[in-house]
Amino acid sequence: MYHMLHFCYAFEDYKETADWLLAQTELRPKVAVICGSGLGAFAELLENQTAIPYKDIPHFPQSTVQGHAGRLVFGEFDGKPCVCMQGRFHFYEGYHISKVTFPVRVFHLLGVQTLIVTNAAGGLNQDYKVGDIMFIKDHLNIPGMAGLNPLGGLNEERFGVRFPCMSDAYDKDICSIAMETAKELGYAPFIQQGVYTMVAGPSYETIAECNMLRMLGADAVGMSTIPEVILARHCGLRVFGLSLITNKVVKDYDSHEKANHEEVLRTSQHRAENLQNLVSCLVAKIG
């Protein structure tokens, strides 16, 4: 059990990483994108790229999960500078929760104003189909309710207030722009809006857990994103989040379906192009 007052990082650590990154590129991104499982190909589309492996970046953790390449890519969409994490960090990889969210505060110090988070998630809502893209309108922070919040410990006032508000976590204006963009691209038939919930993982949910999460009001379940969103809101970033529904969770004891990461990566690959188009158009509009 980790100690609540234990900090992995001091303000100076975030600053050191941000200053190191600013010396590697002349781009000054206003938008950062975190790519979910299998969704990292998006970064390949960036023009005028500078790609930096996580292992070369001071204080950065490493990606250990299949489908997370482990590179930070700076580049442009339609002339709009952007920084993209090709691979994120998860609590179940054994990282302290402040390591999982380390890049978010670095983005803030780079001058980023908007964070776009993407993830692969299991569909809890009966009406969702595999391949749907859910714009996140709210979240249920299950590990947070059990005491695992990235803001636990002493508050760093240089980033934000002790008790940040979360009822406005997902930016309604960006969500409207994303909806408009999805319609322009002809993607409306597979767009949903819903509530994302996070479990710590790495085991997938039992049938009873899926039924409970649905009863609590969640539409999709994953193992990431919420700690990043909380840290982003704490330091004043605007947030847009989307979940790719890569599988339908099992809620029926007669079902022979089994959740598995191969299916997650297959669905991500299938929808990769649509997601790339959507996110790149969005960056071009809001960047």
Ligand X SMILES: Nc1nc2[nH]cnc2c(=O)[nH]1
Ligand Y SMILES: O=P(O)(O)O[C@@H]1C[C@H](O)[C@@H](CO)O1
Active-site residue numbers? 37, 68, 90, 92-93, 120, 223-224, 247, 261
Q: Does 25 bind ligand X (CB under 6 A)?
A: no
Q: Which is nearer to ligand X, 121 or 278 (CB)?
A: 121
Q: What is the 3-state secondary structure (H, E, C) of the chain?
A: CCCCCCCCCCHHHHHHHHHHHHCCCCCCCCEEEECCCCCHHHHHHCEEEEEEEHHHCCCCCCCCCCCCCCEEEEEEECCEEEEEEECCCCHHHCCCHHHHCHHHHHHHHHCCCEEEEEEEEEECCCCCCCCCEEEEEEEEEHHHHCCCCCCCCCCCCCCCCCCCCCCCCCCHHHHHHHHHHHHHCCCHHHEEEEEEEECCCCCCCCHHHHHHHHHHCCCEEECCCHHHHHHHHHCCCEEEEEEEEEEECCCCCCCCCCCCHHHHHHHHHHHHHHHHHHHHHHHHHHC
Instruction: Please choose, out of 42-50, 51-59, 217-225, 271-279, the segment that lies near ligand Y by the rule CB under 6 A.
Output: 217-225
Interface residue with ligand X among 116, 134, 223, 283 (CB under 6 A) is 223
| From the list ligand Y, ligand X, none, partner contacted by residue 247 (C-beta under 5 to 8 A by kind) | ligand X
Q: Which is nearer to ligand X, 171 or 205 (CB)?
A: 205
**Structure-token pair, residue 271:** 């929808």
Q: Which is nearer to ligand Y, 266 or 285 (CB)?
A: 266
Q: Does 142 bind ligand X (CB under 6 A)?
A: no
Interface residue with ligand Y among 31, 109, 223, 230 (CB under 6 A) is 223
Q: Does 264 bind ligand Y (CB under 6 A)?
A: yes
- Residue whose C-beta lies closest to ligand Y: 36
Binders of ligand Y among residues 74 to 113 (CB under 6 A) are 88, 90
Interface residue with ligand Y among 18, 84, 120, 191 (CB under 6 A) is 120
Q: How far is the CB of 267 from ligand X (least distance, A)?
A: 9
Q: How far is the CB of 281 from ligand Y (least distance, A)?
A: 21
Q: Does 270 bind ligand Y (CB under 6 A)?
A: no
Residues with Cβ within 8 Å of residue 75, at least 6 apart in sequence: 27, 43, 46, 47, 48, 49, 50, 81, 82, 84
Interface residue with ligand X among 166, 201, 269, 277 (CB under 6 A) is 201
Binding-site entries for phosphate: 37, 68, 88-90, 120, 224
- Residues near ligand X (CB under 6 A): 120-122, 199, 201, 204-205, 221-223, 246-247, 249, 259, 264
